[in-house]
Amino acid sequence: MSDVTGNGKFLVGIYDDDDVVLKAVRDVKDAGVRIHEVYTPFPIHGLDIALGHPRSRLGIAAFLFALSGTSTALLLTAYMESFDWPMIVGGKDSYSIIVYVPIIFELTVLFCALGMVGTFIVSNGLGPTVKPLMYDLRTTDNKFAMAIDMSKNNLGEGDVERILKNSGAAEVNVKQF
Amino acid sequence: MASAHAIPSLDEQFEFTAESKRRLLIGIGVGVALVAIGSYLLASGVGSHEQHEVVHGAGASEGHDGGHAYKWTNRLYANIWLNAIYFIGASVIGMFFISYNYLAQAGWSSAFKRIPEAMPAYVLPMGIVIIAVFFLAGHDLFHWTNPDLFNKTSESYDPVIAGKQGFLNTPFYLIRLAIYIVSWYLLWRMLRNFSLQEDLHGGTEYYEKSIKWGTAFLVVFAVTSSTSAWDFVMSIDTHWFSTMFGWYTLASWHVTGLAIITLTVVTLKERGYLQIVNDSHLHDLGKFMFAFSIFWAYVWFAQFMLIYYANLPEEAIYYRERFSGYGGIYLAPFFINIFLNFVFPFFVLMTRDSKRTYIFLKIAAWGIIVGHYFDFYTNIMPGTVGEHAGFGPIEFGMILIFACGFMWSLSSQLAKANLIAKNHPMLEETLHHDI
């Protein structure tokens, strides 16, 4: 997951088209500029690879959340049906695991789903009181923004602006957080 | 990545070489020899319990032994039936696959569309085998074919089965068999024909027609997949019924068909064909196998658990027979079935990388293909041969004959057309398929 907390000075290139921004990512990187992040109104296929993001570890997180759900369900049903209040239903043993498979399955799914929502909120720095950093409000509508963190680049402002313009940016704005 | 990359040639002609024909013929020959040896052994009583008058196990007590004593030929016919059902279902899934891909207007699958398209040719020979076996051995395989069961004055009158007479009677059964085979086969011929015409003339006309007739097939198959499952498999255990059974058998056939498609694609790629199929296509096929293994397990478990929990004798007998009936010989196939069809593909195909690696895909596909044989084995054998079942030369020989026949049919169909549907309107999408 990318760094969502920005501070300092950013140059924000605004693009009109998803194909242009995808190509621009490669051009800007080739020109030696480090890109902070690209913000788009919809997912662009191949953008994460072009930006060089490492492969998401979301799958591992999902697996672990699911596993915690499975074990919780096993412990829950075993404790309730074998220790706390053993019951015989339908002539089965008080703990017949087959009967609890639906519960185990559902809790696995539930824990996984809730865990993923939590992961999403945490990794994106969202929350009720958090004011999100907007590099450009129009990225929620029809524009594509490429943010360049000036503190992490050695190039001058004019150079970066020229590179962004050359790569197809319709406008380049300065954003200070 | 959506980068520009060289588009490989779309002209690929699969060659069904004399060498592979020879190998398949040897396979069929070995199969026939094995069946002959097995039949001889059974007929002469070696390895058969016939002489010992084994008292039927607790599970065998469906209560109606009137009219069909066990003969060794029962096991022969049950094996033919088992393999024919397995392969007719696996083949028609090819048609199912292209039909729902047409309906969804899916582009990604058009790269290897010729492979599912080649599979349903085997429906016709399997259909003929099924009808022939029904005429030859219907009375040995299907309890309900005994007319005394419906006759109130007869000793073996059975009110439960008599209540099913409207559906389970020989004329209607034969009409249904004919409907399945003819409708599946003819609709496939239509789609196949459109596809071949499209290769010659191009345009979107054939694509539109394929959507229309593919959808018609889906409507037909929605009904016939369930009813054929009842007819082919469930009616063997005439007393028993399950409302999940149609779905369950469809799930079984579907995942087998997907495993066959995947295995064929990977094998062809290893031989240098299907250059345009990339890792993403394989990944999607892997996901398909993974998802439908889980779907099969879900349906299997739903059927099992409800019966287990409700514990109604007339339903539970089905699993009782498979757990402890007939001397417990079905316990091993029962658990092999769950292991190979759920646990094994679940863990093999779980990671992203394994779905993109030939060897893992092949291992999982073989697991599923073998596993679903056991699925049909545990469904068909207890009701037809009971305690006389086993794994001998007859079983292995019969699998060899039918599997080599399937590969023959598939290869000859593949050789009849360009290996890539080169004028498919969605081809551009599949060339750049990337997930």
Q: Taking the domains of chain A in order of start, what are their residue ranges?
A: 9-55+134-176, 58-123
Question: How confident is the model at residue B86, as a pLDDT?
Answer: 97
Q: What amino acid occupies position B240?
A: W
Residues B121 and B210 in one domain: yes
Is the pLDDT score of B57 beyond 70?
A: no
Question: How confident is the model at residue B400, as a pLDDT?
Answer: 96
Residues B278 and B347 in one domain: yes
Residues B204 and B287 in one domain: no
Q: Is the pTM of this model over 0.80?
A: yes
If phi > 0 it is left, if psi is from -120 to 50 it is alpha, else beta; for residue B8 that is beta
The mean pLDDT value of chain B amounts to 90
Closest Cα in chain B, distance from residue A156 (Å): 30
Residues B87 and B191 in one domain: yes
Closest Cα in chain B, distance from residue A63 (Å): 10
Which of B309, B350, B432 should one mutate to test binding to chain A, selecting the residue with the greatest count of A CBs within 10 A?
B309
Closest Cα in chain A, distance from residue B313 (Å): 12
Reported as a pLDDT band with limits 50, 70 and 90, residue B65 is very low
Residues B217 and B281 in one domain: no
d(CA B250, CA B253): 5
A-chain residues within 8 Å CB-CB of B310?
90
Give pLDDT tens digits for B164-173. Answer: 989 999 999 9
Question: How confident is the model at residue B64, as a pLDDT?
Answer: 45
If phi > 0 it is left, if psi is from -120 to 50 it is alpha, else beta; for residue A133 that is beta
A-chain residues within 8 Å CB-CB of B434?
45-46
Question: How confident is the model at residue B62, as a pLDDT?
Answer: 43
- Specify if B4 maps to a domain: no
Any CB–CB contact under 8 A between A132 and chain B?
Answer: no
d(CA A65, CA A111): 6
d(CA B328, CA B320): 10
Question: How confident is the model at residue A6, as a pLDDT?
Answer: 54
B147 vs B206, residue with greater confidence: B206
DSSP summary character for residue A35 = P
- Helix, strand, or coil here: A34? coil
Question: How confident is the model at residue A7, as a pLDDT?
Answer: 65
Domain A9-55+134-176 top-level CATH class: alpha beta
Give pLDDT tens digits for B116-153. Answer: 999 999 999 999 999 999 999 988 899 898 888 888 88
Yes or no: say if B364 and B289 are a contact pair by the CB < 8 Å rule: yes
Closest Cα in chain B, distance from residue A43 (Å): 12
- In this prediction, the residues of chain A whose per-residue pLDDT falls under 70 are 1-7
Residues B345 and B325 in one domain: yes
Residues B159 and B25 in one domain: yes
Residues B76 and B218 in one domain: yes
* Element at B216 (helix H, strand E): helix B205-232
**Surface of B (176-235) touching A: CB under 8 A:** none
The angle at the Cα of B306, spanning B305 to B309, to the nearest 5 degrees, equals 80
Yes or no: say if A114 and A84 are a contact pair by the CB < 8 Å rule: no
Q: How far is CA B140 from CA A106, B30, B68, B85, B393, in A?
A: 44, 27, 6, 17, 21
Cα B299 → chain centroid:
16
Cβ separation B434–A98 shorter than 8 A: no
Per the structure, the complete domain to which residue B155 belongs is given by 14-47+71-239+391-424
| Residue pointed to by tokens 């809790």 | A107
Reported as a pLDDT band with limits 50, 70 and 90, residue B66 is very low
Token pair belonging to B373 = 């044989």
Residues B233 and B289 in one domain: no
Please report which residue ranges of B6-149 form alpha helices under DSSP H: 18-43, 72-103, 114-118, 123-141
Residues 6+ apart with CB under 8 A from A162: none
| Residue pointed to by tokens 């049903």 | A77
Cβ separation B310–A99 shorter than 8 A: no
DSSP summary character for residue A79 = I
- Helix, strand, or coil here: B126? helix
